[in-house]
Structure 1
Amino acid sequence: MAVTTHQIRAQDHRQQRRTAFCGINTLIPILFVITIIAPFLFMMGQSPDSKTTHLQYSTVTGYFEQDEPDTDPRGYDFASHNLGLIERKYYTDAVFDPHHEKSQWQRFYFHVDELNAHAAPGVQFKVLYLGRHGEGFHNVAEALYGTKAWDCYWAAQDGNGNLTWSDALLTPKGISQAQYANAFWRTLVTDHGIPLPQTYYSSPLLRCLATAYYTFSGLPHTPESPFIPTIKELLRESIGVHTCDRRSSKSTIHELYPEWPFEEGFAENDPLWVPDLQETNAAMVVRARSAMDDIFSADGKTHISISSHSGMIASLLEFLGHRKFRLETGQAIPVLVKAEMVNGELPPSGETPWKKIDLCTEPPAPLLPNREGEDDGDGRGRFMLDVIAH
């Protein structure tokens, strides 16, 4: 199995992190207000500094296949569908491409620029390129044990004695998925004549950082839009219980990606994750909105890349008014978003932000569809048996 320098360096921090977390149960009563109550209020929109205006978001449909109700998410591959961009005419073509010489992507970029140029005060348009991380070792483990056993027992463990999935790293397949995306972006630039995204953001979890690295490194970035992702806490996966979603320290992340900046206020150690409470879906939607408020308020660029997770991307799509569109590992979805500043406070969610999770006390029996080790077509039958073995 090929192991990269990033994988090795990340693995070196595992033992230190286990030691740091060994006393967490004794600290929870002391830190309850800091780690639970404060995030509750923050994520559920109960800030003491209420606002008289807020951003109202919507998806502008008719531009991407993923917008359309008859596009099946199952097995949909963004690269083989040109990211889903629909072949169509725009009213701006008469000015930008009267002789029909430009590519669809070039005409789309110009069209979005014109939408912004002629937008009403307080209105802006951005294209979000939402990418799910490549396959991680936690994905392999869940497939091995089955979702029921994974959720009730294995997800709360750091690993199984042979495989570690706390703040899970990418598998070789996950790295290949990101490299596949890299090749697609290179083709988009060379064959379709469009620039790369102008700004990059990533979840702080290692699998997303690595996915961003392998997806966008080595591409022809311009000095005006370099590949220097900002690491944002709010873009992470559902918080709590699952150790794969417990992030590494700021120092560890900085050692792996020393040139990538953290957002202001990024804590050294994970301030949100706890072992026995799980963030609710409603709270994730509120958190997703907060992340977008930060980006839309502070980032003047139009084309934004976000490396994140299936749960967070689903939450983003929900509050953006996009239809449900589940992404497989390594997949991406573009969304044309309209944001309008409107009067009035954003109503609080009113939902409970955390829920108690009842975990199993004993490990359930694993699911082994390839129990005899027969290959499943891509060599993963043997690989899956290897990683589950104690």
Structure 2
Amino acid sequence: MAFSILNTHIIRLPPPSSPSASPSSIPSSNPKYPIQLRICRPSASLSDMDVISSPGLYPLHRCKTLHLVRHAQGVHNVEGDKDFSNYLSEQLFDAHLTPLGWQQVDNLRKHVHETGLSKKIELVIVSPLLRTLQTAVGVFGGEGYKDGINVPPLMVENAGESNRPAISSSDCPPFVAVELCREHLGVHPCDRRKSISEYRPLFPAIDFSLIDSDEDNLWEANYREKDEEIATRGKKFLNWLWTREEREIAVVTHSGFLYHTLSAFGNDCHPSVKSEICTHFANCELRSMVIVDRCMLGSDPATTNYPGKNPSGLDLPSDVADEKLSNDKEGK
């Protein structure tokens, strides 16, 4: 599958004042269609035109909008900043959000509601780790859950030492957990997930059906996934994402996954655009991107196009009519 990225929007929300594998069980993709991404700005200065030839123009039904989000601050971020060796600590297994992380979640939630994103997003894809699950439901979930509501909550009260009330699954998009967008696999216990049977009672309304293994069979204690392996996994994820019918999708994932996936793209762009795309994400940062199917491999029909000529009648463009007249004269 060949894609273009038309533009990006970066949202960095300042935090409140505070101290600072060959996975066979993940969704499959079609390897015959490698992804090629090009990132273009809709407007460019004259100096940029040496690098960027022109803006792109594509049919709307061949586009998807992705809202990429890195999880909020986790306890592993705090301990790792103090001493990198702390990432090896079993005490950080499947790290949960800090109180500051939950404040970051609240800030981003306010932003997506104020900008109208909460009404546009049709699907939330989330990495099946505690910190991403908490971030996803906190940002994109419904309002407070109340007993007696006939739908399960996205998150039960105090899930993952959150000290938060339950979060409703009403009036929000569906949530699907996907292993392809997990963080660096291996060695660091903070990147090892709990069993799916442990997550389901904590996040009842999240769909975990695409994860085949209850236990974490992807994480290895003695092997850390290589950067190029993450990039390959990221391309598989984008290929799979394109098979979804939804057009506007939020993805809540991790810094390493985002950085190594996006770093593979944008090499035909102005250096400032390449830098904008490939810079590391801050905690709870959101960037919106548009991906485009440039090879007509997609089969989804256009829903907003209108064929015109109804009722039918003569509708020959003037330049075509002029060309036809010239050809008719030559044929006499």
Query: Secondary structure in 1 aligned to 2:37?
Result: strand
Residue 143 (structure 1) aligned to one of 77, 81, 85: 81
Residue 281 (structure 1) aligned to one of 227, 236, 241: 227
Residue 62 (structure 1) aligned to one of 41, 60, 64: 41
**Residue-by-residue CA offset, 1:46-72 (whole Å, 9 max, x unaligned):** x9x985x3153324421599xxx9xxx
Give the length in aligned residue pairs: 234
Corresponding residue for 1:336? 290
Normalising by the residue count of structure 1, what TM-score does the alignment of the two structures yield? 0.54
Corresponding residue for 1:169? 96
Task: State yes or no: 1:216 paired with 2:140.
Answer: yes
* 59 and 253 in structure 1: CA distance in 2 versus 1, 3 angstrom threshold: farther
Query: Secondary structure in 1 aligned to 2:206?
Result: coil
Q: Verify the 8 A CA contact 1:57 1:337 in the aligned structure 2.
A: no
Matches of 1:156 and 1:340, distance apart in 2: 43
Matches of 1:258 and 1:315, distance apart in 2: 31
Matches of 1:291 and 1:246, distance apart in 2: 19
**Residue-by-residue CA offset, 1:294-323 (whole Å, 9 max, x unaligned):** 1102x1221110000001111231234354
Amino acid of the structure 2 residue aligned with 1:317: L
Amino acid of the structure 1 residue aligned with 2:258: I
Residue 319 (structure 1) aligned to one of 257, 264, 281: 264
Q: Which has the larger radius of gyration?
A: 2
Amino acid of the structure 2 residue aligned with 1:172: P
Normalising by the residue count of structure 2, what TM-score does the alignment of the two structures yield? 0.63
Corresponding residue for 1:125? 63
Deviation at 1:282, TM superposition (A): 0.2
Task: State yes or no: 1:250 paired with 2:196.
Answer: yes
Amino acid of the structure 2 residue aligned with 1:134: A
Matches of 1:63 and 1:208, distance apart in 2: 32
Deviation at 1:177, TM superposition (A): 0.4
Q: Verify the 8 A CA contact 1:56 1:341 in the aligned structure 2.
A: no
Deviation at 1:245, TM superposition (A): 0.1
Deviation at 1:337, TM superposition (A): 1.4
Residue 116 (structure 1) aligned to one of 34, 43, 60: 60
Residue 134 (structure 1) aligned to one of 69, 72, 77: 72
What does residue range 224-303 of structure 1 map to in structure 2 within 5 Å?
226-297=172-243, 299-303=244-248
Query: Secondary structure in 2 aligned to 1:277?
Result: coil
More helix by share: 1
Deviation at 1:214, TM superposition (A): 0.8
Matches of 1:296 and 1:196, distance apart in 2: 18
Matches of 1:207 and 1:64, distance apart in 2: 37
Corresponding residue for 1:188? 115
Residue 156 (structure 1) aligned to one of 88, 102, 106: 88
**Residue-by-residue CA offset, 1:80-128 (whole Å, 9 max, x unaligned):** xxxxxxxxxx99xxxxxxxxxxxxxxxxxxxx9x7324xxxxxx21111
Deviation at 1:158, TM superposition (A): 1.1
Matches of 1:310 and 1:279, distance apart in 2: 14
Matches of 1:63 and 1:251, distance apart in 2: 46
What does residue range 192-211 of structure 1 map to in structure 2 within 5 Å?
195-211=119-135
Matches of 2:43 and 2:200, distance apart in 1: 36
Q: Verify the 8 A CA contact 2:178 2:211 in the aligned structure 1.
A: no
Deviation at 1:274, TM superposition (A): 1.1
**Residue-by-residue CA offset, 1:200-250 (whole Å, 9 max, x unaligned):** 10000100000011101236xxx9984221000111100000000001100
Matches of 1:257 and 1:184, distance apart in 2: 23
Query: Secondary structure in 2 aligned to 1:186?
Result: helix
Superposed CA RMSD in Å reads: 3.4
Amino acid of the structure 2 residue aligned with 1:325: T
* 137 and 275 in structure 1: CA distance in 2 versus 1, 3 angstrom threshold: same
Identity of aligned residues (%): 24
* 133 and 64 in structure 1: CA distance in 2 versus 1, 3 angstrom threshold: farther
**Where do 5+ consecutive residues of structure 2 fail to align?**
1-20, 49-54, 144-168, 267-273, 298-332
Q: Verify the 8 A CA contact 1:55 1:342 in the aligned structure 2.
A: no
